[in-house]
Chain A
Amino acid sequence: MDLAPNTDQIAYQTATADWCRDNMPLDQARNRPAGLWKQLAEMGWTGMTSPEMGLNHATEALVFAELGRFLAPVGLLSTAVAARWVGGDAKVALAIPGDGKLRLFDAEDTTAALGIWNGKAGLTMVPGTIEPRPGLDLSASLSVIDLDLIPNPLEDPRAVHHLQLLAAAYAVGCADAARDMAASYAKIREQFERPIGWFQAIKHICADTAVRCAVARSQLYYAACALDAGDAEAAFHIAAAKRLADQAALENARANIQVHGGIGMTDDATPHLCLKRAHLLSFIAPVTTADLLKG
């Protein structure tokens, strides 16, 4: 039993975070360069989950949490799941079906989209006529199709768990980003002639962001290992990780805006980017009450 990353895993984490900081900073999330996807593919992140790479889910979770920390494109999630259960490293858009509509994210230059239909993962064709536009999450382009396309189901039921796990990792990273942003601001912003982080009213909001991160990250690690081990309760543990990570991302994003005060509610500042990402993540492979009570 060992739930701390080993030396190799820490190296993956560090390399990912370093690259993201230099090439894909969070504050540029709404304005990603057109060539970013090509760079991500060259760095190997679009194909890292394919079976021949031999990476376990635990290591994937660590890397995706780092990518999530910098609000990396959500299309990496669908691409990674497709790479694992279909093969290849071609860009695959993320599909979120609902209410007779189909929402596609990061669908530029794709022919297929991956999503969850009635609890099963599937792939559907991306029509050539889509016109991507910005949506709530300014880091991802959105195309709304007014009918739900018929998906081609993926055979392996673990594909759903895989998407849940990676989306949970993104949410853990997003929660971390909001925690760190709030704490950094609380150290430098002064009112009443002292940093606002001195006041317990602010300090305790920040402490709660750290608690939510620790809780969600721990369950993410356990869930990833459970999936690797073929554990009988893996589905429950992944659902728990997804639920707690989604909550951490959303609650931390809200806390971060509050700690930032006036500047936190502006379009110029970055806190809203985490909030909007958290909302989007909560609709990717969402967890039901039944998922958490099963087994």
Chain B
Amino acid sequence: MDISFSAQETRFREECRDWLHANVPCEKRPLDPTEALPFDKAWQRTLYDAGWAGISWPKEYGGRGLSLIQQIIWLEEYARAGAPWIGANFVGINHGGPTLIMNASEAQKSFHLPRILRAEEIWCQGFSEPGAGSDLAGIKTRGRVEGDELVINGSKIWTSFAHVADWQELVLRTEEGSLRHKGLSWVICDMHAPGITIRPIRLMSGEAELAQVFYDDVRIPLANVVGGLGEGWRVAMSTLSFERGTGFIADQVKHAITVARLIDDASASGAIKNDQIAGELAQLRAEVAALRAMTYRNISEVVRTGQPGPEASVIRLFTSELGQRIDRLAVRLKGQDILDFSYGDRDDTQEYLRHYAATIAGGSAQIQRDIIGERMLGLPKSR
């Protein structure tokens, strides 16, 4: 065991830092998703042109094919440099793209992957439904096979960037009467197809990047099915396992930066003289250090064995709950000032309100605890 980075890795870190220092835009990413779209596309294009897009993707699809350690270094430096969130490109880069790489046909890959990297197409996710949240296998949106087309009816919810997306990774029931995990398919859905209606959802933080999507006889070519008809659950799980891997490094670095800032602020204001506040800040500082150690440990396991251990779920759960503890202390330190918050403000109060999603979206904290209990500790399945 060893915490030092090799000379090559250290040089790579400097390379990342230098480029980010010179290229991170001074202007902030707009909050409104429609206004943010040109910003997100331009920034992704800048990353692509400089060779920083899809750094973990294989070279044959336009990626850099870098090692896991290099990916971590890039993500750490990216967050440290305060580089903007990739926003509308998130689903394409972090979900859709990697799923295509693992499961799609050559034609599907060569069409979509380069366009995702160049921000020429925007993707959104269509997994959850009003009646299928934690119980994702309860999906009811159906696709009836008609000739060489799927005719889609139903509704998806919690879809980020639906109103600006060109394509959707859509999981639906293609086998009539099938139950649970069987008879599902993972489909590339054209968001500009007739019959799609989008209803935006505003969150309690004021942001409006989520939406509910309705499908009314939407026709999608069968050629857009990825991984085969009826293989949707397997394909969807390959995306989620990615999300539980390196998907949270940016959050972790952000947590560390926030705790350091809170300690500085509390020292400047004198709040740190309160033993309870000091104790809580000290605890959070220890926890963000441990979070980084846990990620490094998990990555080391992946390098050694080729796959993330079951502890990836622990990282996911701990990251989200730690973030909420940090936000709660931040708003306590602000005191009455949080009462001045209004939609559009970008401060600790907005982060605090936004992060209620952290233990709900992408598998609730309760589902994560089920997974930890069942897969790590071998307790009986309760569902």
A and B: real partners? yes
B336 at the interface (CB under 8 A from A): no
B193 at the interface (CB under 8 A from A): no
**Nearest A-chain residue to B310, judged by Cβ:** A210
Given contacts A3-B297, A198-B382, A231-B3, contact A211 B318 (CB under 8 A): yes
Given contacts A203-B374, A206-B377, A210-B314, contact A6 B1 (CB under 8 A): yes
Q: Please, which residues of chain B bring their CB within 8 A of the CB of A6?
A: 1
1/0 contact string of B343-381 vs chain A (CB within 8 Å) = 000000000000000000000001011101110111111
Once the chains are docked, how many angstroms separate the CA of A85 from the CA of B75?
40
Q: Please, which residues of chain B bring their CB within 8 A of the CB of A21?
A: none
Q: Is the CB of A215 within 8 A of B373?
A: no
Given contacts A204-B369, A204-B373, A214-B311, contact A293 B278 (CB under 8 A): yes
Q: Is the CB of B382 within 8 A of A222?
A: no
Q: Please, which residues of chain A bring their CB within 8 A of the CB of B278?
A: 289, 293
Q: Please, which residues of chain B bring their CB within 8 A of the CB of A240?
A: 285-286, 289-290
Most-contacted residue by chain B among A195, A236, A237, A240 (CB, 10 A): A240
Q: Please, which residues of chain A bring their CB within 8 A of the CB of B269?
A: none
In chain B, positions 272-314 with a C-beta closer than 8 Å to chain A are 272, 275, 278-279, 281-283, 285-287, 289-294, 296-297, 299-301, 303-304, 311, 314
| Smallest beta-carbon distance B264→chain A, Å | 11
Q: Is the CB of A187 within 8 A of B378?
A: yes
Q: Please, which residues of chain A bring their CB within 8 A of the CB of B2?
A: 1-2, 58, 225, 228-229
Q: Is the CB of B293 within 8 A of A219?
A: yes
Q: Is the CB of B69 within 8 A of A219?
A: no
| Smallest beta-carbon distance B309→chain A, Å | 9
| Smallest beta-carbon distance A183→chain B, Å | 4
Q: Is the CB of B296 within 8 A of A219?
A: no
Q: Is the CB of A194 within 8 A of B380?
A: yes
A115 at the interface (CB under 8 A from B): no
| Smallest beta-carbon distance A3→chain B, Å | 4
**Nearest B-chain residue to A5, judged by Cβ:** B1
Partner of B304, one of A4, A58, A237, A291: A4
Q: Please, which residues of chain A bring their CB within 8 A of the CB of B279?
A: 289
Once the chains are docked, how many angstroms separate the CA of A3 from the CA of B5?
12
B49 at the interface (CB under 8 A from A): no
Given contacts A183-B378, A224-B1, contact A4 B301 (CB under 8 A): yes
Q: Is the CB of A203 within 8 A of B318?
A: no
| Smallest beta-carbon distance A69→chain B, Å | 16
Q: Is the CB of A293 within 8 A of B9?
A: no
**Nearest A-chain residue to B292, judged by Cβ:** A222
Q: Is the CB of B3 within 8 A of A200?
A: no
B317 at the interface (CB under 8 A from A): yes
Partner of A4, one of B4, B291, B297, B378: B297
Once the chains are docked, how many angstroms separate the CA of A243 from the CA of B286?
8
Partner of A211, one of B9, B275, B317: B317
B263 at the interface (CB under 8 A from A): yes
Q: Is the CB of A219 within 8 A of B290?
A: yes
Once the chains are docked, how many angstroms separate the CA of A291 from the CA of B314?
27
Once the chains are docked, how many angstroms separate the CA of A224 from the CA of B296?
14
A19 at the interface (CB under 8 A from B): no
Once the chains are docked, how many angstroms separate the CA of A206 from the CA of B378?
10
A15 at the interface (CB under 8 A from B): no
Q: Is the CB of A244 within 8 A of B286?
A: yes
Q: Is the CB of B317 within 8 A of A195?
A: no
Q: Please, which residues of chain A bring their CB within 8 A of the CB of B372?
A: 207, 210-211
Q: Is the CB of A218 within 8 A of B290?
A: yes
Q: Please, which residues of chain A bring their CB within 8 A of the CB of B318?
A: 211, 214-215
1/0 contact string of A218-243 vs chain B (CB within 8 Å) = 11011011101101000011011101
Once the chains are docked, how many angstroms separate the CA of A139 from the CA of B79?
48
Once the chains are docked, how many angstroms separate the CA of A208 from the CA of B41?
41
Q: Is the CB of B285 within 8 A of A293?
A: yes
A197 at the interface (CB under 8 A from B): yes
| Smallest beta-carbon distance A185→chain B, Å | 11
Once the chains are docked, how many angstroms separate the CA of A211 from the CA of B287?
12
A186 at the interface (CB under 8 A from B): yes
Q: Is the CB of B296 within 8 A of A222?
A: yes
Q: Is the CB of A243 within 8 A of B297?
A: no
Q: Please, which residues of chain B bring their CB within 8 A of the CB of A16?
A: none
Q: Is the CB of A219 within 8 A of B314?
A: no
Partner of B283, one of A2, A218, A241, A243: A243
Once the chains are docked, how many angstroms separate the CA of A221 from the CA of B290?
10
A258 at the interface (CB under 8 A from B): no
A11 at the interface (CB under 8 A from B): no
Most-contacted residue by chain B among A1, A197, A228, A229 (CB, 10 A): A1
Q: Is the CB of A215 within 8 A of B281?
A: no
Q: Please, which residues of chain B bring their CB within 8 A of the CB of A283?
A: none
Once the chains are docked, how many angstroms separate the CA of A203 from the CA of B381?
10
Most-contacted residue by chain B among A207, A217, A222, A293 (CB, 10 A): A207
In chain B, positions 229-283 with a C-beta closer than 8 Å to chain A are 263, 272, 275, 278-279, 281-283
**Nearest B-chain residue to A204, judged by Cβ:** B369
Partner of A292, one of B285, B301, B378: B285
Q: Please, which residues of chain B bring their CB within 8 A of the CB of A217?
A: 297
Given contacts A197-B373, A231-B3, contact A1 B296 (CB under 8 A): yes
* 19 extra A-B contacts, CB within 8 A, seeds A229-B3, A289-B279, A292-B286: A1-B5, A3-B293, A4-B303, A4-B304, A6-B1, A187-B379, A198-B382, A199-B382, A200-B366, A204-B370, A207-B369, A210-B373, A215-B291, A215-B314, A217-B297, A222-B3, A222-B296, A225-B1, A293-B278
Q: Please give me the 3 A-B residue pairs with the lowest Cβ-Cβ distance, nearest first.
A: A292-B282, A240-B286, A222-B293
Q: List 17 A-B contacts (CB under 8 A).
A: A3-B1, A3-B297, A202-B379, A203-B374, A204-B373, A206-B373, A207-B372, A207-B376, A207-B377, A219-B289, A219-B293, A222-B289, A229-B4, A239-B286, A292-B285, A293-B263, A293-B281
